C-alpha cells in the first residue's frame, strides 16, 4: 500500500501471496502512471523490507526518477503517516478478525477499505476532509466554507463563544520526521 503523505490518500495498493521486489516495482509504476507523476517529482519513503530494497524495485525507482528514502534500521515507527493509516484501518468495524478465505477475498476487502478511506473517511490531521478531497485540491474551498459557518454561528450566538472559532486554515507544509531531521541537520530548520 502506498500513501501520499500530503493528502493522506492511498494512491496504490495490491494484494499478493508473497512479498517480492517485483510486486513492489509494479505497484510503484502503476501508482505513478495513475497519479501522473513526472520524472524527479517524487520521493518514496519506505521501510527496510527486502521487497522495497530489492534490485528490481531500486531499478524501477531510478527509471521513474524517484528518490528512495528508507526508515532507520531497527526503527519500526519511522513513518507516522503510514503508522496512522494502518492503525485507522485496523480499528475500522469492517476489519477482519480471521484469515481471508482466498486472495480474491483479501483483494475485495482491501478495495472496499481503500475506497472508504479515500472517499468517506474524514481525516483529523487534514481538518476533517477526505484524503480524496485534499488530493484533488477541493479542501481549500471546503475549509473556507466551514470557517464562514463558524464565524456566522459566533456572531449569532456570541454568548456561546469564549474565544476564537476553530482553526480551519489549510495546512500546506507536511514533513516526515521533521524534528529528527532538524536535530541531525540544523541547517534545514526554517528561518522565522
Global pTM value = 0.81
User: Quick one: DSSP state of residue 181?
Assistant: H
Give 162: exposed, middle or buried? Use CB within 10 Å, 0-12, 13-18, 19+.
exposed
Q: Taking 60 as the threshold, does the pLDDT of residue 99 lie above it?
A: yes
Q: Where are the domains of the chain?
A: 1-192
- Matching residue, cell 519511522: 78
CA dist 34 and 11 (Å) reads 8
Distances (CA, A) of 171 to 65, 122, 150: 27, 15, 18
pLDDT single digits (tens) 22-71: 898 899 999 999 999 888 788 887 776 767 777 787 888 888 888 777 77
What is the architecture, at CATH level 2, of domain 1-192?
2-Layer Sandwich (3.30)
**Residue scoring higher pLDDT (95 or 142):** 142
Amino acid at each position: 500500500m502506498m500513501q501520499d503523505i500530503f493528502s493522506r490518500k492511498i494512491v496504490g495498493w495490491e494484494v499478493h501471496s508473497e512479498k517480492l521486489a517485483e510486486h513492489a516495482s509494479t505497484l510503484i509504476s502503476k501508482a505513478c502512471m495513475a497519479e501522473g507523476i513526472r520524472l524527479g517529482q517524487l520521493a518514496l519513503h519506505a521501510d527496510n523490507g527486502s521487497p522495497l530494497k530489492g534490485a528490481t524495485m531500486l531499478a524501477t525507482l531510478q527509471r521513474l526518477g524517484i528518490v528512495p528514502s528508507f526508515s532507520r534500521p531497527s526503527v519500526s515507527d519511522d513513518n507516522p503517516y503510514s503508522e496512522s493509516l494502518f492503525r485507522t484501518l485496523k480499528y475500522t468495524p469492517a476489519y477482519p478478525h480471521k484469515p481471508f478465505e482466498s486472495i480474491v477475498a483479501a483483494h475485495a476487502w482491501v478495495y472496499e477499505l481503500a475506497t472508504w478511506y479515500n472517499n468517506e473517511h474524514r481525516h483529523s490531521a487534514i481538518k476533517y476532509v477526505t484524503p480524496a478531497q485534499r488530493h484533488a485540491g477541493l479542501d481549500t474551498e471546503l475549509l473556507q466554507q466551514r470557517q464562514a459557518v463558524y464565524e456566522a454561528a459566533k456572531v449569532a450566538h456570541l454568548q456561546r463563544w469564549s474565544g476564537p472559532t476553530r482553526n480551519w486554515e489549510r495546512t500546506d507544509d507536511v514533513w516526515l520526521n521533521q524534528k529528527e531531521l532538524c536535530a541531525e541537520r540544523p541547517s534545514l530548520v526554517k528561518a522565522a
